Amino acid sequence: MIRNDSPEKMRIVFSEPTPRLEELAPCTECKTYVGQAPKGCPNNAPAQ
């Protein structure tokens, strides 16, 4: 399971056996951290 906990879209490239590009939607409820990041990833991002 992959979660995008960023307010920006995320692209993931799978290269084997057949190359494939997946794009994860941005998390509309997540925020951008400046300076100190959280100790762990929040689980409020949608799973894809």
pLDDT digits 0-9 by tens, 15-24: 988 999 999 9
Q: Both tokens of residue 30?
A: 């997540």
In the chain, the number of structural domains is 1
| Model confidence at 42: pLDDT above 80 | no
pTM: 0.60
Q: How confident is the model at residue 46 (pLDDT cuts 50, 70, 90)?
A: low
Mean pLDDT of 16-38: 85
Mean pLDDT of 21-47: 78
**What are residue 22's phi and psi, to 5 degrees?**
-120, 145
Residue 34 pLDDT grade (very low, low, confident, very high; cuts 50, 70, 90): confident
Flag whether 44 is in a domain.
Answer: no
Pairing mode, strands 10-14 and 20-24: antiparallel
* Residue 22 counted as domain residue: yes
* Residues 6+ away with beta carbon under 8 Å from 47: 1, 2, 3
In a domain, 18, yes or no: yes
DSSP designation for 5? -
Parent domain of 7? 1-32
